[in-house]
Chains A and B, each alone.
Chain A
Amino acid sequence: MTEPVVSIEGLSIDYVVGAGRFRAVSDLSLDIAPGQVVGIVGETGCGKSTLAQAIPRLLPEPPATIGGGSIRFQGIDLVKVPQWKMPAIRGTGINMIFQEPLNSLNPAYRIYDQIAEAVRIRQAREAGRPVVDPRTPPPFDYAHGPRPTTGESMLRPVVPVGTEEKVRRRSLRRHPELYEDVLEYLRLVRINDPETILNLYPHELSGGMRQRVMIAMALSERPALLIADEPTSALDVTIQAQVLTLMKELIEEIRTSILFISHDLGVIAETADVLGVMYAGRLVEFGPVAEVFESPRHPYTKALLRAAPTRYKSDGPLTSIPGSVADIAHPPPGCRFHPRCPLAQSVCRSDPAPRLLGAPDREEHRSACHFADEVAKIP
């Protein structure tokens, strides 16, 4: 048994808003093996993005707090790592691709500078050199000086005069030695004519191109784990298909572990090896992707698969899930899906919630349902 890249045990994440406490992710356990692509699907508000951002500790804390559990990555528990040490793990350890690439790229830098920065950080870390270039002034940091009062910050610039100018001029063009590396990564993501793209700003690229640049940046740091949070949801269908094709090819070439978050079952079906289905903060089913699609063992997965419109008007109405998604502020007791579940019995309505258990013949295919065997039998 190979050591998993990431091992999440009993993770719970709460949002504390005023006096309220919302458990966005509850008691979630998940392992990602080296080179494995784990897909997570679920509806809006099921906690899938919270999970994605919690692993590299990108959630704003507060309002988010990790209520319990552990995230073991390369022998350390990320839950216990103080925030200031996290930048050393992000990038070369865990990297992320977000839904909207325009928000993740810096609009003020050319593409070359942005990718070169990622390559330089990776090279510096591999060589054991300090990541911050000694030639650049340190960014202004309130931790090293008195914090200005509100009145002061309104009267004078927040960033001291002088530093601002230097930061803006700090172009990574001063790293011509990285040019070939940057070109190589742009070619890796199948960008034709990378020499031209290098000199453009993010707003000059189309959505598909920007997402390719994001993928190039993420891969150039050679992360052990790549988290892709809805990477193709903002793209048009034909462009999405191009980016998915690229990702599928890269998955085979690079063999990095990927946590792939999406609301689209089709996208997950095309990329993932293992699929997890989340509902109201809980993982309700987890197993090899083909098995989950062909013989789901949780009523929610089954309903989700059936709700996808694949028929014509004359074939009768679509099957939808009655009711609406469970409110995480007041989750129902027991199994959170029971108010909408056609198979619900009294045992489903009482705590504790069903545990994620393997199928009798297939330990890898786990589901959190008291009646998993009955669900699997329904055609």
Chain B
Amino acid sequence: MTTPPLVEAIDLEKEFPLTRTAGDVLAGRPRRAIRAVDGVSLSILPGETVGLIGESGSGKTTLGWLIARLHDATGGALRFDGADLLALQGPALRRWRRNVQVVFQDPVGSLDPRLRVWQIVGEPIRAQGEHSRRVVRARVRELLPTVGLSPDCVDQYPHEFSGGGRQRLSLARALSVDPRLIVLDEPTSSLDVAVQAQILNRLVELQRERPVAYLLITHNVAAVRFAADRVAVMYLGRLVEVGAVRAVLETPLHPYTKALLAAVPVADARRRRTRFRIGGDVPSLIDPPPGCRFAPRCPFVIDQCRTVYPMLREIPGAPGQLVACHRAEEVRNVRPAELLSTGEAPSATPPAGV
């Protein structure tokens, strides 16, 4: 606990206002907004990997973009190396950007099809003030082997690469300015399992070679298990659980984390008889349910959950693992597998022993 965090988000918020029609104004209807990130506090230490898991619409990409200053926060505070990040503007912000780079989700859309490899990978170098074509090309040639590509492909175009190859290019681009944090937004979700393993291995090796921290945003629990040191679980704009990767994945405390782990299909033919018992859809972010966001789907819900939002807290017996659940102590011993049933009909009653 002596290392100061590299990035520290405190009650970070991001609202996207919805368009208000003239009719809404005349009728005096209130302004409405999507609260994509709703009071998230998270810190990333130098050189560590934080996995951020959540389903689509949980705000995980928005949080990643906020930390990379690609979105402007509408509330809260964000510190980088102890300095206020939200106050940075203009040239100072541009200089700061060498510290944080992003690998985007879509390996096709994030690479300009009309640029050559050296131009794509070298773009951050040029943005940081190095304009010599010769220097940029030489730097790109050095970089490509670190992501497992041949230095001779500097003059190729992105369409000549496979999905995995494009994601390597994205990674090389992010590494080009020696950042201290790389935000990896679903880096492997469009890849096949064998290619995914290659990329994840490469990410972990790179971290051994250089002091870079990762924020790994994904819905893939397996990728987080392998690559992350700590995990944050996000649901509808809020963090529901934060802790060390083994602790969260082996003894999850929050009912949503348990449900998520139970839902992941496992390559084991014996799972055939099991039934998933969490119903309902992810509610809308426009009018999120009051109280705990997971309450409408939670099998352990009590009245308090529907009115009071539970704060992230530590519970006795699980040091370092934060959970936002009123009943964390009572449900902590429920295993994710208990949210699956082997019976014939799905039942709405919570598992026994709670």
- Which A positions have Cβ atoms within 8 angstroms of B? 43-44, 190, 206, 208-209, 236-242, 244-245, 248-249, 263-271, 289-290, 293-294, 303-305, 307-313, 317-321, 324-325
Contact = CB atoms under 8 A, between A and B. Distances in A.
Contact of B263 (A44, A240, A264): A240
Interface stretch (B26-34, B98-106, B176-184, B198-206): B198-206
A270 B271 contact: yes
A263 B278 contact: no
A308 B269 contact: no
A244 B205 CA distance: 36
B194 A43 contact: yes
B152 interface: no
Contacts of B275: 245, 248-249
Contacts of B242: none
Given A238-B260, A309-B196, A270 B265 contact: yes
B279 A266 contact: no
A5 B270 CA distance: 26
B229 to A, nearest CB: 7
B323 to A, nearest CB: 18
B219 A236 contact: yes
B192 interface: yes
- Which of under 10, 10 to 19, 20 to 34, or 35 or more describes the interface residues of B? 35 or more
Contact of A319 (B197, B205, B262): B197
* Residue with the greatest number of chain B CB neighbours at <10 A, chosen from A240, A294, A320: A320
Interface in B61-86: none
A320 B148 CA distance: 14
Contacts of A248: 272, 275
A244 B197 contact: no
A317 B204 CA distance: 8
B265 A313 contact: no
15 contacts: A236-B282, A237-B55, A237-B219, A240-B263, A241-B264, A244-B276, A245-B275, A266-B268, A269-B266, A269-B268, A270-B272, A271-B272, A313-B226, A318-B201, A324-B195
Nearest to A271: B272
A125 B179 CA distance: 65
Interface of B: 49, 55-56, 162-164, 192-198, 200-201, 204-205, 219, 221-223, 225-229, 245-246, 259-260, 262-272, 274-276, 278-279, 281-282, 346
Contacts of B268: 266, 269, 293
Nearest to B227: A313
A205 to B, nearest CB: 9
A245 B346 contact: yes
Given A293-B268, A304-B194, 14 more contacts: A237-B264, A239-B55, A266-B265, A269-B272, A270-B274, A309-B197, A309-B223, A312-B225, A313-B204, A313-B228, A317-B201, A318-B201, A320-B195, A320-B201
Contacts of B223: 309
Main secondary structure of the interface of B (DSSP, over half): helix
Max chain B Cβ within 10 angstroms of own Cβ: one of A269, A289, A304, A310: A269
Name which of A237, A242, A304, A310 has the most chain B CB atoms within 10 A of its CB: A237
A44 B309 CA distance: 43
A285 to B, nearest CB: 14
A263 B193 contact: yes
A307 B196 CA distance: 8
Most A CB contacts (10 A, CB to CB) among B197, B265, B275, B346 go to B265
Contacts of B282: 206, 236, 238-239
Nearest to B250: A312
Nearest to B268: A269
Contacts of B266: 266, 269
Nearest to A273: B272
A268 B271 CA distance: 10
A309 B220 CA distance: 10
Contacts of B264: 237, 241, 266
A238 B263 contact: yes
A268 B264 CA distance: 12
A330 B88 CA distance: 53
A33 to B, nearest CB: 17
Contacts of A269: 265-269, 271-272
Contacts of B219: 236-237
A71 B155 CA distance: 46
B192 A43 contact: yes
Nearest to A237: B263
Contact of B269 (A290, A313, A320, A321): A290
Given A266-B266, A293-B269, A318-B201, A311 B225 contact: yes
B250 to A, nearest CB: 10
Contact of A263 (B163, B192, B263): B192
B265 A303 contact: no
B265 A267 contact: yes
A245 to B, nearest CB: 5
A44 B194 CA distance: 11
A245 B346 CA distance: 9
Contacts of B195: 43, 320, 324
Contacts of B269: 269, 289-290, 293-294
Contacts of A308: 193, 222, 267
A293 to B, nearest CB: 5
